[in-house]
Amino acid sequence: GESVGLHLPTLSVQEGDNSIINCAYSNSASDYFIWYKQESGKGPQFIIDIRSNMDKRQGQRVTVLLNKTVKHLSLQIAATQPGDSAVYFCAGVLDNAGNMLTFGGGTRLMVKP
Amino acid sequence: DTEVTQTPKHLVMGMTNKKSLKCEQHMGHRAMYWYKQKAKKPPELMFVYSYEKLSINESVPSRFSPECPNSSLLNLHLHALQPEDSALYLCASSQYDSSTEAFFGQGTRLTVV
C-alpha cells in the first residue's frame, strides 16, 4: 500500500480562515518530511520541512506538526489567502522506500473569497 | 540562486521521434532526480543521480535514458515513447541526498502523439 497518504483530496476554506491539511505515513521510520505546494502548470514548491527529532516547526504563516506516535503530519496555514490555492503534497523519506522521497496523494486547497 | 531550470517547457513528439529533456542547476547540489507526474497524481520517482552517478533506477522502461554530463546538468533522452508516457516530467536537485531539501523545476509537459 501507499507509504505516505493524505486524508482529504479537496479542502475548501474561506479567505482569512486557518487551513489544516493532514497526512499519515505507514509503519516505517522516517527521518524527514517535507510539505510542497504545487500550482497549476508549475513544479512543486518547497514550503517547510521537519525532521523526526522535532514535533513542530514554524515558518511564515505555516506550521508543520509531527506526531510520531500516531504517524501523522499536518500543515497549518494561518489567515489563508487566495494565493494559497494549490495542491499540497506531503513527502517523506521512508526507509521502506529505499530512503527516497515519497509523495503522498495531494490535497487541493480552494480558497473562497 | 535556488532555481532548477528545465527545457523545453512543452514538447509534442511522435512515437518514432527521439528527443531530450534538459535540466540545469547552479546551487552546487550533488543529487539530481527525474520524476514523472500524471494529471491529478503525485510525482513518481524515475531516476536518481548522486555525485554524477546513477544510483537509483525505479524500473523505468529503457525508452527513457538518463544522462548526467556534469554536476550541474541532467538530461532525459526519449525514444520510441508511447501515448501513455504523456505527463509532466519534473527535475529536482538536493544538496547531498534525499535527506535534504529538494528543489523542483517547473517541469516539461510532454505529449506523445
Supply the pLDDT for residue A29.
65
Instruction: Enumerate residues 6+ apart whose C-beta is below 8 A from B52.
Output: B30, B68, B70, B71
In whole angstroms, give the CA distance from residue B97 to residue B23.
Answer: 17
Q: Residue A1 — very low, low, confident or very high, per pLDDT cuts 50/70/90?
A: very low
A44 vs chain B: nearest CA distance in angstroms? 6
In whole angstroms, give the CA distance from residue A80 to residue B37.
Answer: 27
Supply the pLDDT for residue A28.
66
Supply the pLDDT for residue A35.
95
B69 vs chain A: nearest CA distance in angstroms? 23
Supply the pLDDT for residue B47.
93
Supply the pLDDT for residue A2.
45
In whole angstroms, give the CA distance from residue B52 to residue B107.
Answer: 21
Which of B43, B48, B109 has its CB closest to that of A44? B43
Q: Residue B100 — very low, low, confident or very high, per pLDDT cuts 50/70/90?
A: confident
**What Rg do the C-alpha atoms of chain B give, in angstroms?**
13
Tens digit of each residue's pLDDT (9 = 90 or more) over B43-87 = 999 999 999 999 877 789 999 999 999 999 999 999 999 999 999
Q: Tally the residues of chain A.
A: 113
Query: Measured in whole angstroms, how far is the alpha carbon of residue B82 from the centre of its chain?
Result: 17
Residues of B in contact with A46 (CB under 8 A): 101-104
Residue predicted with more confidence, B47 or A3 = B47
Supply the pLDDT for residue A26.
80
Pick from A93, A97, A95, A55: nearest CA to A72: A55
Tens digit of each residue's pLDDT (9 = 90 or more) over A25-76 = 885 667 789 999 999 989 999 999 999 899 999 999 999 999 988 989 999 9
In whole angstroms, give the CA distance from residue A97 to residue B98.
Answer: 11
Supply the pLDDT for residue A64.
98
Tens digit of each residue's pLDDT (9 = 90 or more) over A83-103 = 999 999 999 887 655 667 889
Supply the pLDDT for residue A104.
87
Tens digit of each residue's pLDDT (9 = 90 or more) over B10-25 = 999 999 999 999 999 9
Question: Is A101–B98 a contact, with Cβ atoms under 8 angstroms apart?
Answer: yes
Tell whether the model's pLDDT for residue A6 goes beyond 70.
no
Residues of B in contact with A44 (CB under 8 A): 43, 90, 104
